[in-house]
Structure 1
Amino acid sequence: MTSEYRCPFDDLLILDFEATCEKDNYDFPPEIVQFSVCVLNTREKIIREDLSFNKFVRPIINPKLTDFCAELTGIDQDSIDKADTFPEVFNQFSAWLEEHNFQAKRYAFVCDSRQDMWRFAQYQFLLNKQPLPTIFRQWVNLGRYYEEDLRKAQVQDTWGPSFIEKMSGFYNIQFEGHAHNAMDECAFLAKVTKRVLDNGNLVTINESLKCIAGPRNVPFNIDPEWKTSFVSSCKVFEAMLPLVSTRTKRYFPDDFYGKCLYCFLPECTGVEHKQYPEYVYEQLKEPSVFAITAGLMRE
């Protein structure tokens, strides 16, 4: 264990979103219904038990949760009905960051995978017809650290399908609470992040969003059953969404923060698609609700 954490940020904000969903249908337009963050201070090497952000969010497109979503997340309809909409909750979060003096470039978000930023946050702001905020353009993908630790340990992954189950088994850290409750998952992921830091690993930005990526120039054959397959749907969404998530091997906050690491242009906001996937839409057997709802398809 090192005397100081190997991390260029003063604070790591562990973030998790929960979103609307429908069983066996990945073409469902996800709207964020829970927005949670807890804090790991890297200078004091502590998880801030006294400081967190946790809000339910009222969806607009599908205001009534499906039975599947309610059971999966443990969120009841009454809590959703009383909640503010996403723009209001995001403004509350921005005020929370300012209230607690979180300085841009001095903190980084930590997520268990790319899904929270690349899919949920990007899609939510497309629904709102707003550019993706600078703070959501880069993050620490904790799943990458788990995969590397697994490789170093030379053991097989046998702990379960989700990253939460995998990391719980590998790091021997018990998950407490309700699976797919954003705040409970944040609390768990904070413990895993601290373990990774305690083990002497450098924890920094390892994924970011950019407008153009080489693989998106190569057309592929759409799986006819993509709507019911998580893996196949993600491949489709990689082409549909304006910004693509990419691994970031070297990250310098002063130079890279909030910028598209392809074009570095301030007008690259994620609202316009610079690699429009016409071949994807031509192959679909029926229109994509995911794409149509967010205005991703051209008229």
Structure 2
Amino acid sequence: MEAQKETSQPANKTSTSGGDQEEQCCSNTSCEKNEEQEPSSPKQGDFSDPVYKEIAIANGTINRMNKNELLAKCAELKLDTRGVKDVLKKRLKNYYKKQKLMHSAGAKGNSDVYFDYICVVDFEATCEENNPPDYLHEIIEFPMVLVDTHTLEIVDSFQEYVKPVVNPQLSEFCVKLTGITQKMVDEAKPFNQVLKQAVSWLQKKELGTKYKYTFLTDGSWDMGKFLNTQCKLSRIKYPQFARKWINIRKSYGNFYKVARAQTKLICMLENLGMEYDGRPHCGLDDSRNIARIAIHMLKDGCQLRVNECLHSGEPRSVPISAPIEGAPAPKTPKKRD
């Protein structure tokens, strides 16, 4: 829901009691900003190893290439030739880095994947053309797209519409933006029931039990604003399994070294040489396109890792020094007191 995310005002802060500890993602306030940092491979070892000098030399050679030379080299190595010049450079650098490190360590296979699955979420919510500062966005579409990080494929998806309560009548702007009609939400289930369905779907995939997984979103709004606000409106506790996530905008900007203005969904797709597939602002289609970007980044050598969490009711950055942990097994949240 990119257009709505760009224009949304910060959600109203609600007072919380000292005992509302489920709002925190960690026991302290160590979730500090680290947007300019890029995680290194946990298996890189000693940087004095001669292999890193070889990598530096290869990087210097790549930096001096023009776009035609970059395209020719990618084609020679049978790498993807789509994308702008900076994307091609990053692709080649990561290819040579991975090859040299694997050769040096005698490693085989894709050993730098942190999670077995990544679950992409992009909610759609009620909105007005000009939202007042106190407007409460209610989730009206709950989509999830599951990416297998080993096969680098979308393997399944979930989608349910949700019946709003505070603003049951959708605005004309909302219908036009999202394609979600009044009939669709009138016939939908309330959020707490849809959330139970979503939890059941995740459980059937054995996520958090047999397989390590995490969530991925296009920005901080889906979890930090929309889901957080909706849980308060529905009087249920925020789900523990959704407290940490990958903000792909941060990951993309850090990995390809581009400005924030180049991390909008359409910009990311275009810079990677792809076109949007589907209807913009359809939550499921947005999720699928975000998943395509994530898969492309994994192929280019990006080590997608959790970089945001919900702390005291607000989204915070997770430092790269934090341990790499998968989301806990999904459980239906309890009601608020």
TM-score under structure 2 length normalisation? 0.61
Give the 3 Å change call, closer, same or farther, for CA 119–26 of structure 1 in structure 2.
Answer: farther
Q: Distance in 2 between matches of 1:57 and 1:26?
A: 22
Q: Tell me which of 139, 143, 167 is aligned to 1:32.
A: 139
Alignment of 1:211-222 (within 5 A): 211=312
Give the 3 Å change call, closer, same or farther, for CA 89–47 of structure 1 in structure 2.
Answer: same
Deviation track 1:5-48 (CA, whole Å, cap 9, x = no partner) reads 63311100011100000111143210000010111111222221
Deviation at 1:146, TM superposition (A): 2.0
Task: Give the structure 1 partner of residue 151 of structure 2.
Answer: 44
**1:70 and 2:140 aligned:** no
**What amino acid sits opposite 2:126 in the alignment?**
T
Give the 3 Å change call, closer, same or farther, for CA 257–193 of structure 1 in structure 2.
Answer: closer
**1:207 and 2:313 aligned:** no
Q: Distance in 1 between matches of 2:231 and 2:111?
A: 34
Q: Distance in 2 between matches of 1:169 and 1:252?
A: 33
Give the 3 Å change call, closer, same or farther, for CA 74–37 of structure 1 in structure 2.
Answer: same
Q: Which runs of 5+ in 2 are unaligned?
A: 1-94, 99-108, 329-333
Q: Distance in 2 between matches of 1:17 and 1:141?
A: 14
Give the 3 Å change call, closer, same or farther, for CA 245–185 of structure 1 in structure 2.
Answer: same
**What amino acid sits opposite 1:83 in the alignment?**
A
Q: Distance in 1 between matches of 2:173 and 2:162?
A: 17
**1:85 and 2:190 aligned:** yes
Task: Give the structure 2 partner of residue 262 of structure 1.
Answer: none
Secondary structure, aligned partner of 1:47: strand
Q: Distance in 2 between matches of 1:36 and 1:58?
A: 14
Q: Tell me which of 323, 330, 334 is aligned to 1:252.
A: 323
For the 8 Å contact 1:58–1:83, the answer to whether it is kept is yes
For the 8 Å contact 2:242–2:327, the answer to whether it is kept is no
Structure (1 or 2) with the larger CA radius of gyration: 2
Secondary structure, aligned partner of 1:147: helix
TM-score under structure 1 length normalisation? 0.69
Q: Distance in 1 between matches of 2:317 and 2:185?
A: 35
RMSD: 2.3
Give the 3 Å change call, closer, same or farther, for CA 257–103 of structure 1 in structure 2.
Answer: closer
Deviation at 1:166, TM superposition (A): 1.6
Secondary structure, aligned partner of 1:102: coil
Task: Give the structure 2 partner of residue 118 of structure 1.
Answer: 224
Aligned length: 222
Give the 3 Å change call, closer, same or farther, for CA 188–202 of structure 1 in structure 2.
Answer: same
Alignment of 1:75-224 (within 5 A): 75-103=180-208, 106-151=212-257, 163-211=264-312
Q: Distance in 2 between matches of 1:101 and 1:147?
A: 32
Give the 3 Å change call, closer, same or farther, for CA 205–187 of structure 1 in structure 2.
Answer: same
Higher relative contact order (CA 8 A, sep 6+): 2
Q: Percent identity among equivalent residues? A: 27
Secondary structure, aligned partner of 2:143: strand
Give the 3 Å change call, closer, same or farther, for CA 128–44 of structure 1 in structure 2.
Answer: same
Q: Distance in 2 between matches of 1:26 and 1:109?
A: 30
For the 8 Å contact 1:12–1:39, the answer to whether it is kept is yes
**What amino acid sits opposite 1:187 in the alignment?**
R
Give the 3 Å change call, closer, same or farther, for CA 174–249 of structure 1 in structure 2.
Answer: same
Q: Distance in 1 between matches of 2:315 and 2:139?
A: 19
Q: Distance in 2 between matches of 1:26 and 1:138?
A: 29
**What amino acid sits opposite 1:178 in the alignment?**
R
| 4+ aligned runs moved over 6 Å, structure 1 | 156-159
